Amino acid sequence: MTVQIRDVTLRDGLQLTGKPLPTERKVRLVRELLALGVEHIEVGSMARPDLVPAVADTLDVVAQLTPEELERCWVWVATPRHVERAAAAGVTRFQYCFSASDSHNRANIGRDTETSIAAMPAALEAAGAVDGLLQLCIATSFTCPFEGEVPIERLRMILDDERTSGASDVVICDTLGQAHPASVRERVALAAERRPEAGLVFHGHDTWGAGVANALAAVEAGAGVVDGALGGLGGCPFAPGASGNTSTEDLAFTLRPSWAGTDAFAQLVRLGQEITGSLDEPDRARVLGGALSEKARAFPWTLQA
């Protein structure tokens, strides 16, 4: 299977940063990543700007992108109204997200899971009105910060609910980074079994150091796309204990998608250094030490001076 990467720096990656990234830099980053060959970009969110100020300018970013660029750009939404507003701005790729656990859905979106499921047909209709694609994104697919482990039956119930059918893809999210490869394999395989018509995406975090291993397990179970953020930025402000995403650089080095040769990898590492530095955040990409090594110049993946 050919594996693709979606970079989520501009949404999930910015949610816990102390400094904002200017709109113009966001637009330039989208274009830099697309030019490298990164297949998909998550460019922002329709979340309330007072709750997640880092993404308040999402529609300003969208306004500066071309229709061709927007075909590879996804926006996080949680209600049909979010879809309508984003669609009016030119968005055609929507990630409709809610949590498998009621407690996190209330903290994150302000309603229980059933309410979010009940609204999904209207969200699908709004996306279809602009010939768009809408993903079913299931946060806390493994664990919840308030309820602990989420039973796999809860995930099965969501996947089997006819109101969630019609999505272009299913996104299985390890929101807290507490999953392990066996659990990832099991739950992604369940999504593949229940939704054979949909693409599969795995959204992982590296909180417990298993981010890359979990991504590999997801690919083995059928995921065709995995999410990552530059420098391992990210985390959910409504999920205590969540930390950064699996880094895009680590995923590129390990999964070797078609675009990720040594030159593109070097540019990706430098982008991660630049973005994290401008935000005064640490660069948590695990490949960084090796890529910058002065003693491994014979290895072509080492950044050459």
300 found inside a domain:
no
Q: Rounded to an integer, what distance in angstroms lies between the CA atom of residue 35 and that of residue 29? A: 10
Q: What tens digit of pLDDT does each residue of 3-54 get?
A: 999 999 999 999 888 899 999 999 999 999 999 999 999 999 999 988 889 9
pLDDT tier at 305 (50, 70, 90 boundaries)? low
Mean pLDDT, residues 200-227 taken together: 97
Q: What is the mean pLDDT of the chain?
A: 95
| Res 72: pLDDT | 98
Residue-number span of the structural domain to which 183 is assigned: 4-291
Backbone angles phi, psi at 247, to 5 degrees: -75, 145
233: helix, coil or strand? coil
Q: In this structure, are residues 137 and 191 in contact, taking their beta carbons and an 8 Å threshold?
A: no
In a domain, 58, yes or no: yes
Exposure string (b/e) for 202-224, b if CB count within 10 Å is 16 or more? bbbbbbeebbbbbbbbbbebbbb
The model's pTM is 0.96
- Chain centroid to CA 96: 12
Integer-rounded Cα Rg, in Å, for the chain is: 18
> Is residue 230 domain-resident?
yes
Higher pLDDT among residues 16 and 87, named by residue: 87
Looking at the structure of the chain, the number of domains it has is 1
CATH code assigned at 169: 3.20.20.70
Torsion angle in degrees (nearest 10) through CA of 258, 279, 106, 94: -40
Residues 134/139/141/147 CA torsion (nearest 10 deg): -150
**Is 298 a residue whose pLDDT tops 80?**
yes
Identify whether 111 is part of a domain: yes
Asked whether residue 40 is assigned to any structural domain, the reply reads yes
186 close to 152: Cβ distance less than 8 angstroms = yes
- Region 145-159: mean pLDDT is 97
**Residue 297 located in a structural domain:** no
For residue 234, is it within any domain? yes
Does residue 298 sit within a domain? no
Number of C-beta neighbours around residue 48 at 10 A = 13
**Which amino acid would we find at residue 121?**
P
| Angstrom distance (rounded) from CA 248 to CA 231 | 7
Q: Would you tell me how many other CB atoms lie within 10 Å of the CB of residue 110?
A: 14
Residue showing tokens 């039973």: 151
Strand segments, DSSP code E, in the chain are 4-7, 40-45, 73-77, 93-99, 133-139, 143-144, 148-149, 169-173, 199-203, 225-228
73 as an active site residue: the answer is: no
| pLDDT at 239 exceeding the cut of 70 | no
How many Å apart are CA 117 and CA 94, to the nearest integer? 15
Catalytic residue among 73, 97, 137, 236: 236
Q: How confident is the model at residue 136 (pLDDT cuts 50, 70, 90)?
A: very high
Strands 148-149 and 143-144: antiparallel
User: What's the rounded Cα separation, in Å, for the pair 40 and 305?
Assistant: 29
CA distances for 267 relative to 63, 161, 235, 291, angstroms: 26, 43, 24, 11
